[in-house]
Structure 1
């Protein structure tokens, strides 16, 4: 599934991942237009945690922001999700807020609305989690989801995440404060789940 190891985390070579239907690769400047289409879709971004973007320069800045995660000190990694059947860039997923001392980070993701409901994000995030536990030596991966984002909560639970509680008005986007559900997945839980 992966062609990277722990030594590659801060290196120049970007760790591409493969699943049966997807390639997780480095986000490139040429992805800006598709990022604008995804992140400019107000309905698709309703639960993302930031306001929708409205211009190509904002999307180009997003490419730079995602790339900066890999610059020293490495804070995480964000992959472009490319569908193998047509090489279309359909979203991103990644690990961020990397705390090396605590061996923890957070996971985030988004997908073009016309590709929802096909299990693609389960594939993509599953590959990212495996890479995080194996190559970043993580013990804990955290996630936050809006309590009304049933699809995201179902995805996380399917991947083994355990709900820990509700953070009151922890997020602010689109002019409103939002509660967030806190979830986590531990290394031993993920390893045990993969053996079953």
Structure 2
């Protein structure tokens, strides 16, 4: 079980075009690019890429926050070494940059959300962290703006269509995507349903966290009929 889900509202992102391979991330136009063997995705507002060591401070801001970590599988981190260990495991994980990503806000000079006008700002992580189960966490400062939906919609589009061959050595045909959510996490349940997930089950006392024993709502997203994977 994993409660690696948090918060989002609604945005829209059309099927992303495949870009030419580029050596200058983020991609200059919307879509998906394969750079040094890793997937880079650019949406209207976000740059989605593999986790890197430079993400540490931004990730720790998420993982030390009580609100962001409320439905996580452990209590908020109290020291930087915990986040360092988590990030190190993410970086070396086989899905990093293929299905599991850091999410960065693109710099916009007139945007009140962006911390920089020259480089993307880390705002969270999202993806299929084990290849089939969705998980995400976002910095509380960026809640309610549709960033999680925008990121996950693009990641799932990449997973189902798989038009750049970065996954052939990891997964064969895409399988249904699963989610395991604390039933009190209304925002994540709303988000997942908007993405196309449907409830498949409910179980009590499935996981013990800093909140005590938690129940689970199980959801699943089948491969959309209008997608076609290339492996």
Give yes or no for TM over 0.5.
yes
The answer to whether the aligner puts 1:92 opposite 2:122 as a matched pair is no
**Residue 60 of structure 1: how far off its partner (Å):** 1.2
> How far does residue 59 in structure 1 lie from its aligned partner after superposition?
1.3
Report if aligned partners of 2:48, 2:103 keep a CA contact under 8 Å in 1. Answer: yes
User: Deviations 1:99-127 (Å, cap 9, x if unpaired)?
Assistant: xxxxxx11100101111111110000111
Of 101, 105, 117, the match for 1:79:
101
Q: Which residue of 2 aligns with 1:141?
A: 177
Cα deviations across residues 22-44 of structure 1 (Å, max 9, x unaligned)?
00012111111111110000121
- Structure 1 residue ranges without an equivalent (≥5): 99-104
In structure 2, C-alpha distance between the alignment counterparts of 1:43 and 1:82, rounded to whole Å: 20
Higher gyration radius (CA): 2
How much has 1:78 moved relative to structure 2?
2.0
**Where does residue 65 of structure 1 map in the other structure?**
89
1:159 to 195, 208, 215: 195
TM-score by length of 1: 0.82
Give the whole-Å Cα distance in 2 for the aligned partners of 1:172 and 1:41: 19
Superposition pairs of residues 1-196 of structure 1, within 5 angstroms = 1-4=31-34, 13-70=37-94, 77-85=99-107, 86=114, 87-98=120-131, 105-135=132-162, 136=167, 137-174=173-210, 176-188=212-224, 191=226
Rounded Cα–Cα distance in structure 1 between residues aligned with 2:203 and 2:32: 34
**Which structure shows the bigger proportion of residues in strand conformation?**
1
What is the TM-score normalised by the length of structure 2?
Answer: 0.70
Structure 1 stretch displaced more, 47-56 or 105-114: 47-56
Q: In the alignment, is the contact (CA less than 8 A) between 1:95 and 1:132 conserved in 2?
A: no
Q: Which has the higher contact order (CA 8 A, sep 6+)?
A: 2
1: CA distance, partners of 2:94 / 2:77: 23
For 1:50 and 1:132, the matched residues in 2 are separated by: 28
Runs of 4+ aligned structure 1 residues displaced above 4 Å come to none
The 3-state SS of whatever aligns with 1:157 is helix
